[in-house]
Amino acid sequence: MSVVEHLDRGPRDKNELAAAIAGDIPHGAYVNLGIGQPTLVADHLVAGSGVVLHTENGMLNMGPAARNDEVDPDLINAGKIPVTELPGASYFHHADSFAMMRGGHLDVCVLGAFQVSEHGDLANWHTGAPGAIPAVGGAMDLAIGAKSVFVMMTLFTKDRIPKLVSACTYPLTGLGCVSRVYTDYATFEVGAAGARVLETFGIALTDLAERLDVELRGHVD
Amino acid sequence: MSVVEHLDRGPRDKNELAAAIAGDIPHGAYVNLGIGQPTLVADHLVAGSGVVLHTENGMLNMGPAARNDEVDPDLINAGKIPVTELPGASYFHHADSFAMMRGGHLDVCVLGAFQVSEHGDLANWHTGAPGAIPAVGGAMDLAIGAKSVFVMMTLFTKDRIPKLVSACTYPLTGLGCVSRVYTDYATFEVGAAGARVLETFGIALTDLAERLDVELRGHVD
Amino acid sequence: MSPRVVSDPDEAVAGIEDSSTVLVGGFGMAGMPVTLIDALIRSGASDLTVVSNNAGNGDTGLAALLAAGRVRKVICSFPRQSDSWVFDRLYREGQVELEVVPQGNLAERMRAAGAGIGAFFCPTGVGTPLAEGKETREFNGRIYVLELPISGDVALIAAHTGDRMGNLTYRKTARNFGPVMATAARRTIVEVGRVVEIGAIDPEVVVTPGIYTDTLLDLAAVRKGGS
Amino acid sequence: MSPRVVSDPDEAVAGIEDSSTVLVGGFGMAGMPVTLIDALIRSGASDLTVVSNNAGNGDTGLAALLAAGRVRKVICSFPRQSDSWVFDRLYREGQVELEVVPQGNLAERMRAAGAGIGAFFCPTGVGTPLAEGKETREFNGRIYVLELPISGDVALIAAHTGDRMGNLTYRKTARNFGPVMATAARRTIVEVGRVVEIGAIDPEVVVTPGIYTDTLLDLAAVRKGGS
């Protein structure tokens, strides 16, 4: 399969990333969207997609963020933001909710990341900075708990250091758990066989390959 | 504590046994009554005892057996007999029901037995006869799942062989799990320290000791 | 995916392959998916491993499946009942294998399968023949036996009401193994007394969330002869 | 035993001893037993180990308990929040120990304590710093980490409605850790929005059966100034 290079445009912004991910979520999938940017994906799921959102604090078929008098302190998402309930929702306790996740019943989980390795290792919970207070939340459960784990992130840090790496240097969240990485400059498949570029945005494949310290499968110099 | 010998009467019948056990169940206890004779105990729990009956097929606050048009095929006890529901009942699935039991939340469980050892080992699921089809049901879970396990049985087989023994010869249901044994001829405490007679019925303690192959604590020849 | 809602029992069980492990709900007749079992017999699927609390009674349901020679192995807690003559005969003739599992282990092992637990240390059965050859370990002064998950290729269960997203409620003690088996199988097929529209079940009272339901057989429609 | 039903928060928490392990429900503010936590602070109990999803935020609730110097150790999944300044300071000063546990492990380890499971092999955290030093084992080609139960001397939780037998219902995502913690503690103290008579809760919708409830604090009566 050849790589599609979108060179007539710049890199994707976070809403374009969210839209791209939403487009790749199968009809009727059960999906968990991680805290932060991944929640944007919900805005791009079209009506009739049949996608059911799970929030690990005990709910299926979560609706959009609550507005004004919809706000109910007993109804929040994993980011502790007030949300709403869609028809056909259900509530369950934390052990049942994580059993659902860890038992592999969710189809897709979308997460942010500090680093992803070409083999799908994920680092998204701890920078490893000395003195940082560790806080994992549900990250490690989410990482291993869905049939497919998509990462949504910028490809480079503010200091222009690549976040797609040959091996994570930050403390790991999960081993070999990520299957796809959506970034501003490119979408990648990652896994046991290594990383492969699916699409690029605002950058040529050869330039991308030079900026990364990762062997890209299917990329011929 | 001296042993009470009731010599002005014969051995207890099963209803007297059931009444004796009912009398020893603390007010407000959560209790599971095993299949068969132990279910008779329910008939002797006085109103206001506050005892709540658990049935391992997923219910708390089970009521008496259903009569006539009370019969509902969806409402049965562990012996598959139609029962009724008392106000304040609750239903739960099998994993939650056995978690309740195995987690040690029940106060008392009353079981029948083939044999009980002086150390509280229980054999009540299998005679070990060649060709017998094994069937354990919830017996092993019940045996280890209550704060106190009471056994209700005749002290002797039809062939006059004692069922309170120094060591069980039948396949075990649980190790050291029984605390008290109610029989027609006597009530015993059993456990790590061995067997002790609490009361006898229609038999003198010395005669009882002679008919058993078990050292009885507190019994002076 | 929202479940397929069907009114034909044969369609509900279509695709169950030979040599499958089939989890079958029910405790006694309460919660027994009789319509689905009958359809499974008609489907001809054979060499099955059946996981259920009992091994059939009388001549219908699981007993009929056994009598038809479709079952290679039964995993259950209580095979021997006063009217389990079909199983008893096949077992004594060596026609069917038996794994007897304490009832709580049966439930917890399926729960483990559904919850992604690799194995667990369990207090039941220590020192008994059913723990022979199994690994034991002491934690906090108590001995436990290592038990492995039981998962199914298919679960056949009965529920009271299901909505079109597959959310289920049960009725009284007919709940029993249904909610656990629904989580433990790759494909869960449910016969329900009635199918209701989405939104008709209060989200607080859902027992099995729709994520676990793959096929919903509408018994009300079956009775009407399909719809 | 049916639970004690009280209308005085101080009476509800009376008897919680120094050095207890206290399970505290809630995820964010949803399901947080704020009245009971305030009473626990007034009780003076100290050297506590607190098990909760978070380590307090702002200056109230768990944060106030921490600020009062009553907590020796926190076991939680997510201590660091934008407004967790009390915990952050105490942690950096070495005044409080921290055990970070993945959220699913926190729930499952308490579930194990309540269910009599000695330990379990868990897929979460394999290969990460949180599994360092822990036993691992492969089952069916997947690696798992051995995790131990977390039990409490006391659980403080919030529910929506409770009847006088202690049966509880919850509301929406305020359910979270409450039902699990109720099973995992030797004594479970519950604050409920309202106490109803026995029979007023449909047996099908009970989430926490009364067997797990020891003390029920009637918030409606608290608001009225006791009754």
Q: How many CB pairs under 8 A join B and C?
A: 140
Q: Is A56 a catalytic residue?
A: yes
Nearest-CA distance from C153 to chain A in Å?
A: 14
Residues of chain C with C-beta less than 8 angstroms from the C-beta of A30: 211
Q: Please judge whether C173 and B59 are an interchain contact, meaning their C-beta atoms are less than 8 angstroms apart.
A: yes
Task: Give percent helix, percent strand, percent coil of chain B, each to the nearest 5.
Answer: 20, 30, 50
Query: What is the sign of the dihedral through the CA atoms of D42, D43, D49 and D53?
Result: negative
What is the pLDDT, as a whole number, of residue D227? 45
Both structure tokens of A85: 């309930």
Q: Please judge whether D2 and B90 are an interchain contact, meaning their C-beta atoms are less than 8 angstroms apart.
A: no
Question: Residue B43: which residues within 8 A CB-CB, separation 6 or more?
Answer: B15, B18, B64
Residues of chain B with C-beta less than 8 angstroms from the C-beta of C82: none
Both structure tokens of B124: 């009540």
| DSSP conformation letters of chain D | -PPEEES-HHHHHTTPPTT-EEEE--BTTBT--HHHHHHHHHHT--SEEEE-SB---TTSTHHHHHHTT-EEEEEESB---TT-HHHHHHHHTT-SEEEE--HHHHHHHHHHHHHT--EEEESTTTTSGGGTTS-EEEETTEEEEEE----EEEEEEEEEEEETT--EE--GGG-TTHHHHHHHEEEEEEEEEEEE-TT-S-TTT-SB-GGG-SEEEEHHHHHTT--
* CB of B25 less than 8 A from some CB of C: no
C53 CB burial (10 A radius; 0-12, 13-18, 19+): buried
Q: Is the pLDDT of residue C227 over 80?
A: no
Residues of B annotated as catalytic (active site), given as ranges: 56
- Tell me: the pLDDT tens digits for D119-140? 999 999 999 999 999 999 999 9
Q: Is the pTM of this model over 0.90?
A: yes
CA distance A209 to C221: 59
Nearest-CA distance from B101 to chain D in Å?
A: 8
| C161-170 mean pLDDT | 98
- In C61-85, which positions are buried (b, 16+ CB within 10 angstroms) versus exposed (e)? bbbbbbbeebbeebbbbbbbbeebe
| CATH classification number, C4-101+150-226, choose in 2.30.110.10, 1.20.1270.30, 3.40.1080.10, 3.40.50.720 | 3.40.1080.10
Q: Please judge whether B75 and C178 are an interchain contact, meaning their C-beta atoms are less than 8 angstroms apart.
A: no
Q: B87: nearest CA in chain D?
A: D199
Low-confidence ranges of chain B (pLDDT < 50): 221
Whole-complex ipTM: 0.97
What is the pLDDT, as a whole number, of residue B220? 55
CA distance D178 to D186: 14
Q: How far is CA D3 from CA B164, C219, D196, D212, D216, in A?
A: 38, 42, 13, 9, 6
Nearest-CA distance from D124 to chain A in Å?
A: 5
- Tell me: the pLDDT tens digits for A124-135? 999 888 888 999
Q: CA torsion, points A155, A156, A162, A165, in degrees to nearest 10? A: -40
Q: Please judge whether C124 and B75 are an interchain contact, meaning their C-beta atoms are less than 8 angstroms apart.
A: no
What is the pLDDT, as a whole number, of residue B131? 82
Nearest-CA distance from A52 to chain C in Å?
A: 8
What is the pLDDT, as a whole number, of residue B137? 96
In this complex, the residue of D28, D98, D130 whose CB is nearest that of residue A140 is D130
Q: Which of D98, D89, D87, D208 is nearest to D159 (CA)?
A: D208
* CB of B74 less than 8 A from some CB of C: yes
Share of residues in chain A with pLDDT > 90 (%): 91
Q: Is the pLDDT of residue A177 over 50?
A: yes
Tell me the pLDDT of chain D averaged across its residues.
96
- Tell me: the pLDDT tens digits for A129-163? 888 899 999 999 999 999 999 999 999 999 999 99
CA distance A148 to A150: 6
CA distance C50 to C154: 10
Q: How far is CA B158 from CA A4, B9, B150, B165, B178, in A?
A: 86, 21, 22, 16, 23
What is the pLDDT, as a whole number, of residue B219? 62
Q: Is the pLDDT of residue C153 over 70?
A: yes
What is the pLDDT, as a whole number, of residue D176? 98
D interface residues, B as partner, C-beta within 8 Å: 1-2, 111, 113-117, 163-165, 167, 183, 198-199, 201, 203-204, 206, 209-212
In this complex, the residue of C116, C165, C203 whose CB is nearest that of residue A104 is C116
Angle at which helices A94-102 and D103-115 cross, to 10°? 110
* Alpha-helical regions (H) of chain B: 14-24, 94-102, 139-145, 205-211
What pairing do the DSSP bridges indicate for beta strands B195-201 and B186-189?
antiparallel
In this complex, the residue of D121, D148, D172 whose CB is nearest that of residue C119 is D121
Q: How far is CA A98 from CA A102, A106, A140, A197, D103, in A?
A: 6, 10, 11, 32, 8
Q: Is the pLDDT of residue A217 over 90?
A: no
What is the pLDDT, as a whole number, of residue D82? 85
What is the SS3 assignment for D37-84?
Answer: HHHHHHHCCCCEEEECCECCCCCCCHHHHHHCCCEEEEEECECCCCCC
Q: State which H helix or E strand residue C90 sits in.
A: helix C85-92
Q: Please judge whether D211 and B85 are an interchain contact, meaning their C-beta atoms are less than 8 angstroms apart.
A: no
Residues of chain C with C-beta less than 8 angstroms from the C-beta of B136: 77-78, 100-103, 130
Share of residues in chain D with pLDDT > 70 (%): 99
Quick one: pLDDT band at residue D1, thresholds 50, 70, 90?
Answer: confident
Query: CA angle at residue C49 from C47 to C54, to 5 degrees?
Result: 130
Location of structure tokens 């195995």: B102
Q: Please judge whether A88 and C165 are an interchain contact, meaning their C-beta atoms are less than 8 angstroms apart.
A: yes
What is the pLDDT, as a whole number, of residue A139? 96
Quick one: pLDDT band at residue D2, thresholds 50, 70, 90?
Answer: confident
What is the pLDDT, as a whole number, of residue A219? 62
In this complex, the residue of B88, B98, B100 whose CB is nearest that of residue D199 is B88
CA distance A67 to A71: 6
| CATH classification number, A4-56+106-217, choose in 3.40.50.150, 3.40.1080.10, 3.30.1370.60, 3.10.20.600 | 3.40.1080.10
What is the SS3 assignment for chain A?
Answer: CCCEEECCCCCCCHHHHHHHHHHHCCCCCEEEECCCHHHHHHHHCCCCCCCEEEECCCEEEEEEECCHHHCCCCCECCCCCEEEEEEEEEECCHHHHHHHHHCCCEEEEEECCCEEECCCCEECCCCCCCCCCCCCCCHHHHHHCEEEEEEECCCECCCCCECEECCCCCCCCECCCCCEEECCCEEEECCCCCEEEEEEECCCHHHHHHHCCCCEECCCC
B32 with B54: CB under 8 angstroms?
yes
Q: Which of C111, C23, C155 is nearest to B93 (CA)?
A: C111
Q: Please judge whether C122 and D123 are an interchain contact, meaning their C-beta atoms are less than 8 angstroms apart.
A: no
Share of residues in chain C with pLDDT > 70 (%): 99
